[in-house]
């Protein structure tokens, strides 16, 4: 008892040590497990693998990066992946904004709570279940075909469109919640003031609501963009013959047994994300997360 | 990169001729292995088990889907439970969809036995992930067809690395109600005028390039392809071009046989390369699916059960090897998966008495016509020494490029 008391007294006198002890565990986790793994990834990217046995040979070379840059197929896949990520982000933003606006500004407090739960519920279901449901729905004789056939349309079938649809569905909650939080912080009085000064709703939206919630949208886009950038399962399930960066990484680990090249490819989304985050920092969205 | 003079020193005239003047590929230091004869690599020095101990009570099996069924897919299909009862080894099964996946999973070291196809077995031997198998400890080995023993994909220098399991061909599956007349040639999936454009499915693995090469071997004789796994620059390019042409007609590539099963059932794909087990499964679920061995012949597999070097359950592993090639179990697997059993006596125990005839089980001559999956290497497998062939690393890169 006395030992415990003297320790606590000692810690009370030395705030720096106290802080150090408190933070050491999470810092160790962040440093070793997270940044350490990233560093290992980056180092592996400079090695290469024996194509027969798949053993990693620790010779340093830039060959992997050269292949990555010179082979046009990797450029195509990178651009395709960015395009999908951008598409998913835009679609999610367009769908999420009105929903979040209704939740934050129009719905009664009771309805608001129910809506927040409703938005969160899909996150409880397994990713795979949701992706496979879309596979069944998008199938040539699935429910989409059945619904769209009478109006002369058809299911897009498996392919890029299906991938964008499925990913937009999967990541929608990650866009709604930040926008909802951003709109909640927007004082109603500002909207009212804009109206009192003669602005029409469209003008209020453009000059007041959007600039003030833009950081929230950007915060949501970080989620949808980065989650899409790293995805490889959805495109395998509903993507038909298309592939994304994640698939190249996966194939190089699973199929080709070429870990170093997989690491090289994996640096691409990391770099894209760093650039994205650097751009985002300027909008002040990082304070909104 | 290292060259492999050991290969030259150790092996006979054929290998000498084939290996002369070849270097290992730029990305591959694995050296040559020549699956037509002796192998051009030096396997790590590992000892086979000399006697069995007490069963360890546990066994982790890495298998092709349909090879180790415990009733969880279909309560009637279960030969793992009998093994568990007999040996008190609790079995956990992990399945894989491609040979490459099996190689990388074996590298994790978590598995005791693996059913390896020819395009995986030599890689596993060369990397030391599997060890020699003492066939004296596998009593049922005696009944295995002789033409399957001591083959380039399961033995190195006469040292056996596993027990043959069974073999078969990659068939052309099709919807009987949507594809008529029934296809007889692989042109149904490769011809750009195919009427089933957009409804074709193909195997998602670099080894599928061999299927294109096999088709070219028969349809474009002037390319001079002798072995679909030994392709020089020009032949390889032709096969890759054929697959690039095929891509727009593909509805999706499959590596999970259940995904293909579902696509066939829903009609999202109406024909494509498949395993017999997929066809059997789709049929059992009521889909109008059948399969055919096209006139060009087919690629195929000849599988081997191997023991992991790092296994801590080797007695159970040997018990499994013996059990899975026992007449009873081998008959059940062969019939469920749709392949030829390795054990001669299994032929008497299949429910369909014609099974062994249908799959040409004892027919060494027929078996020699299937192009078994094997790992392409720089040293041409067809014995040519004046050119360098494309190694598997290049096959893999080309596959990424084909999918684009």
- Whole-number pLDDT of residue A2: 66
Structural domains in chain B, CATH included, are: 58-167+301-365 (3.40.190.10), 171-297 (3.40.190.10)
The answer to whether A257 contacts B253, with C-beta atoms less than 8 Å apart, is: no
B266 in Cβ contact with B329 (< 8 Å): no
Q: b/e for A28-65, b at 16 or more Cβ within 10 A?
A: eeeeeeeeeeeeebeebbbbbbbbbbbbbeeeeeebbe
Mean pLDDT of A102-117: 93
- Are A148 and A199 in the same domain? yes
Token digits for A260?
């170093």
- Are A83 and A139 in the same domain? yes
Q: ipTM value, please give it.
A: 0.76
- Whole-number pLDDT of residue A20: 84
B338 in Cβ contact with B290 (< 8 Å): no
A256 touches chain B (CB under 8 A): yes
Token digits for A219?
């915060």
Euclidean distance between CA atoms A56 and A140, whole angstroms: 43
Domain for residue A52, yes or no? no
What is the residue-level pLDDT of chain B in tens, covering all 404 positions? 334 443 333 333 333 333 333 333 333 333 333 333 345 577 888 888 888 888 899 999 999 999 999 988 888 889 999 999 999 999 999 999 888 889 889 988 889 999 999 889 888 998 899 999 999 999 999 999 988 888 888 888 889 999 999 988 999 999 999 998 899 999 999 998 888 988 999 999 899 999 999 999 999 999 999 999 999 999 999 999 999 999 999 999 998 888 899 999 988 999 999 998 899 889 888 899 999 989 888 999 899 999 999 999 999 999 999 999 999 999 999 999 888 999 989 998 988 888 888 888 888 877 777 898 988 888 888 888 888 899 888 898 899 899 98
Residues in A closer than 8 angstroms to B401, CB to CB, are 71, 73
Euclidean distance between CA atoms A156 and A163, whole angstroms: 10
Euclidean distance between CA atoms B340 and A120, whole angstroms: 52
In a mutagenesis test of the A interface, which of B2, B23, B100 is the best target, namely the one with the most A β-carbons within 10 Å?
A: B100
Euclidean distance between CA atoms B164 and B303, whole angstroms: 6
Domain span at A24:
2-44
- Are A25 and A133 in the same domain? no
Q: b/e for A217-226, b at 16 or more Cβ within 10 A?
A: bbbbbbbbbb
A161 touches chain B (CB under 8 A): no
- Are A182 and A253 in the same domain? yes
- Are A241 and A277 in the same domain? yes
Mean pLDDT of A39-55: 83
If one counts the domains in chain A, the total is 2
Domain for residue A199, yes or no? yes
Mean pLDDT of A235-239: 91
Domain for residue A33, yes or no? yes
C-alpha gyration radius of chain B = 21
- Are A11 and A115 in the same domain? no
Taking CA atoms, what residue in B is nearest to A262?
Answer: B397
- Are A102 and A126 in the same domain? yes
Domain for residue A114, yes or no? yes
pLDDT band at A149 (very low <50, low <70, confident <90, very high): confident
- Are A145 and A34 in the same domain? no
**pTM of this structure:** 0.79
Largest CA distance in chain B: 61
Mean pLDDT of A240-245: 90
- Whole-number pLDDT of residue A288: 57
A101 in Cβ contact with A268 (< 8 Å): no
Domain for residue A50, yes or no? no
The answer to whether A52 contacts B392, with C-beta atoms less than 8 Å apart, is: yes
- Are A157 and A230 in the same domain? yes
Among residues B49, B52, B15, which one has the least CA distance to residue B34? B15
- Whole-number pLDDT of residue B93: 94
Tell me the percentage of chain A whose pLDDT exceeds 70.
96
Domain for residue A211, yes or no? yes
What residues have CB less than 8 Å from B70, skipping those under 6 apart?
A: B78, B80, B81, B91, B93
Residues in B closer than 8 angstroms to A241, CB to CB, are 247, 250-253, 403
Which of B123, B127, B247 faces A241 most closely, judged by CB atoms? B247
The answer to whether A240 contacts B397, with C-beta atoms less than 8 Å apart, is: no
- Whole-number pLDDT of residue A1: 54
Domain for residue A53, yes or no? no
- Are A38 and A67 in the same domain? no
Question: Which parts of chain A fold into alpha helices (H)?
Answer: 2-13, 15-28, 37-44, 63-70, 72-101, 109-120, 127-138, 143-148, 160-185, 188-196, 201-204, 210-229, 233-238, 245-254, 259-281
pLDDT band at A289 (very low <50, low <70, confident <90, very high): low
* DSSP conformational letter for B27: S
In a mutagenesis test of the B interface, which of A241, A252, A260 is the best target, namely the one with the most B β-carbons within 10 Å?
A: A241
Number of Cβ within 10 Å of residue A253's Cβ equals 20
Helix axes B327-337, B276-284, angle to 10 degrees: 80
Token digits for B325?
């090639």
The answer to whether A53 contacts B397, with C-beta atoms less than 8 Å apart, is: no
The answer to whether B98 contacts A255, with C-beta atoms less than 8 Å apart, is: yes
Domain for residue A149, yes or no? yes
Secondary structure of chain B: what % helix, strand, coil (to 5)? 40, 15, 45
Mean pLDDT of A262-285: 88
- Whole-number pLDDT of residue A26: 84
DSSP reduced 3-state for B404: coil
- Whole-number pLDDT of residue B18: 36
- Are A123 and A235 in the same domain? yes
Tokens 């929903």 correspond to what residue?
A99
Mean pLDDT of A139-150: 86
Tokens 């999420």 correspond to what residue?
A96
pLDDT value at A187 more than 50: yes
A55 in Cβ contact with A49 (< 8 Å): yes
A84 in Cβ contact with A164 (< 8 Å): yes
Mean pLDDT of A247-259: 82
CATH number of the domain enclosing A149: 1.10.3720.10
Closest Cα of chain B to A279: distance in Å? 30
The answer to whether A51 contacts B30, with C-beta atoms less than 8 Å apart, is: yes
- Whole-number pLDDT of residue B19: 35
> What CA–CA distances, in Å, run from B364 to B145, B146, B149, B360, B370?
9, 9, 12, 8, 10
Token digits for A56?
């990693």
- Whole-number pLDDT of residue B193: 87
What residues have CB less than 8 Å from B207, skipping those under 6 apart?
A: B98, B99, B119, B299, B373, B395
Closest Cα of chain B to A53: distance in Å? 5
- Whole-number pLDDT of residue B190: 94
A156 touches chain B (CB under 8 A): no
- Are A122 and A145 in the same domain? yes
Closest Cα of chain A to B129: distance in Å? 10
Euclidean distance between CA atoms B277 and B303, whole angstroms: 15
């Amino acid at each position: 008892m006395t030992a415990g008391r003297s320790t606590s007294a000692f810690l009370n006198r030395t705030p720096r040590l106290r802080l150090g002890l408190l933070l050491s565990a999470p810092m160790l986790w962040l440093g070793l497990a997270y940044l350490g793994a990233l560093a290992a990834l980056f180092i592996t990217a400079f090695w290469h693998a024996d194509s027969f046995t798949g053993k990693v040979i620790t010779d340093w070379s830039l060959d992997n990066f050269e292949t990555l840059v010179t082979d046009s197929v990797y450029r195509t896949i990178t651009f395709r992946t960015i395009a999908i990520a951008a598409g998913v982000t835009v679609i999610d933003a367009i769908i999420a904004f009105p929903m979040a606006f209704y939740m934050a500004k129009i719905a009664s407090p009771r309805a608001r709570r129910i809506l927040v739960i409703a938005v969160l519920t899909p996150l409880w279901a397994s990713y795979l279940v949701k992706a496979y449901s879309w596979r069944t729905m998008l199938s040539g004789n699935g429910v989409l075909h059945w619904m769209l056939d009478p109006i002369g349309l058809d299911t897009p079938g498996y392919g890029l469109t299906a991938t964008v649809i499925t990913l937009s569905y999967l990541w929608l909650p990650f866009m709604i919640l930040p926008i909802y939080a951003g709109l909640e912080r927007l004082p109603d009085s500002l909207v009212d003031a804009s109206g009192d000064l003669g602005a029409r709703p469209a003008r209020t939206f453009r000059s007041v609501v959007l600039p003030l919630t833009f950081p929230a949208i950007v915060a949501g886009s970080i989620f949808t963009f980065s989650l899409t950038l790293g995805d490889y399962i959805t495109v395998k399930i509903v993507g038909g013959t298309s592939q994304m960066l994640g698939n190249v990484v996966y194939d190089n680990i699973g199929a080709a047994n070429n870990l170093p090249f997989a690491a090289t490819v994996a640096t691409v989304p990391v770099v894209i994300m760093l650039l994205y985050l650097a751009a985002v920092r300027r909008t002040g969205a990082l304070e909104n997360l | 990169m290292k060259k492999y003079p050991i290969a030259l020193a150790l092996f006979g005239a054929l290998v000498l001729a084939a290996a002369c003047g070849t270097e290992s590929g730029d990305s591959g230091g694995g050296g040559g292995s020549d699956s037509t004869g002796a192998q051009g690599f030096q396997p790590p020095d590992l000892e086979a088990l000399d006697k069995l101990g007490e069963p360890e009570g546990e066994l982790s099996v890495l298998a092709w889907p349909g090879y180790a069924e415990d009733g969880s897919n279909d309560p009637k299909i279960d030969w793992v439970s009998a093994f568990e009862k007999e040996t008190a080894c609790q079995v956990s099964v992990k399945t894989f969809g491609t040979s490459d996946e099996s190689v990388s999973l074996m590298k994790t070291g978590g598995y005791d036995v693996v059913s390896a196809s020819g395009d995986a077995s030599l890689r596993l031997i060369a990397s030391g992930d599997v060890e020699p198998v003492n066939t004296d400890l596998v009593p049922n080995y005696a009944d295995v067809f002789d033409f399957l023993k001591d083959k380039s994909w399961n033995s190195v220098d006469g040292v056996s690395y596993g027990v043959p399991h069974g073999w078969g061909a990659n068939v052309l599956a099709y919807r009987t109600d949507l594809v008529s007349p029934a296809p007889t040639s692989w042109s149904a999936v490769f011809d750009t005028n195919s009427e089933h454009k957009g409804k074709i499915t193909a195997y998602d693995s670099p080894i599928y390039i061999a299927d294109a090469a096999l088709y070219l071997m028969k349809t474009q004789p002037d390319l001079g392809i002798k072995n679909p796994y030994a392709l020089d620059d020009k032949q390889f390019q032709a096969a890759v071009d054929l697959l690039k042409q095929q891509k727009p007609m593909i509805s999706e590539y499959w590596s999970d046989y259940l995904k293909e099963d579902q696509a066939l059932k829903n009609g999202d794909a109406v024909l494509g390369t498949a395993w017999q087990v997929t066809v059997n499964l789709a049929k059992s679920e009521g889909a109008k699916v059948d399969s055919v061995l096209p006139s060009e012949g087919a690629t195929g597999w000849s599988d081997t059960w191997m023991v992991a070097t790092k296994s801590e359950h080797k007695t159970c592993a040997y018990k499994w090897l013996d059990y899975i090639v026992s007449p009873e179990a081998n008959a059940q697997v062969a019939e469920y998966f749709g392949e030829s059993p390795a054990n001669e006596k299994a032929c008497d125990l299949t429910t369909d008495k014609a099974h062994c005839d249908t799959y040409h089980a004892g027919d060494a001559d027929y078996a020699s016509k299937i192009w078994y999956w094997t790992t392409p290497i720089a040293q041409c497998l067809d014995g040519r020494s004046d050119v360098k062939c494309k190694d598997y690393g290049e096959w893999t890169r080309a596959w990424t490029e084909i999918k684009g």
